[in-house]
Amino acid sequence: MDDSNCAGALYHCSLMVHTLGIGVCCNGSLENTAHVSAELKKCLGIPKDHECSGAITMGYQNIRY
């Protein structure tokens, strides 16, 4: 799986959760940090021979637009 497949999957995930009233935030800094931090990969449960190709957080919004 390459990065573009992961980006497409995250995009579709963000569209789906939006319909449920859940907000999404892309976390590029988490993705970049996971490339260089073995400790973070271990905390997230990412195996040593795998890479992080994208990250988002989801949650209910305090603000309605």
Per-residue pLDDT reduced to its tens digit, 4-37: 888 899 999 999 999 998 999 988 898 889 989 9
Closest CA to 61 of 32, 29, 20: 20
Whether the CB-CB separation of 55 and 31 falls below 8 Å is answered with yes
Instruction: Please check the confidence at residue 2 and state whether its pLDDT lies above 80.
Output: no
Length, in residues, of the chain: 65
Q: Residue with structure tokens 């190709």?
A: 53
Q: Give residue 5's pLDDT.
A: 87
Q: How far is residue 15's CA from residue 5's CA, in Å, rounded to a whole number? A: 16
Q: Higher confidence at residue 1 or residue 28?
A: 28
Q: What does pTM read for this prediction?
A: 0.69
pLDDT bracket for residue 1 (50, 70, 90): low
Instruction: Please state the domain extents for the chain.
Output: 3-60
Q: In the structure encoding, which two tokens stand for residue 13, read together? A: 């995930």
Residues 6+ apart with CB under 8 A from 2: 53
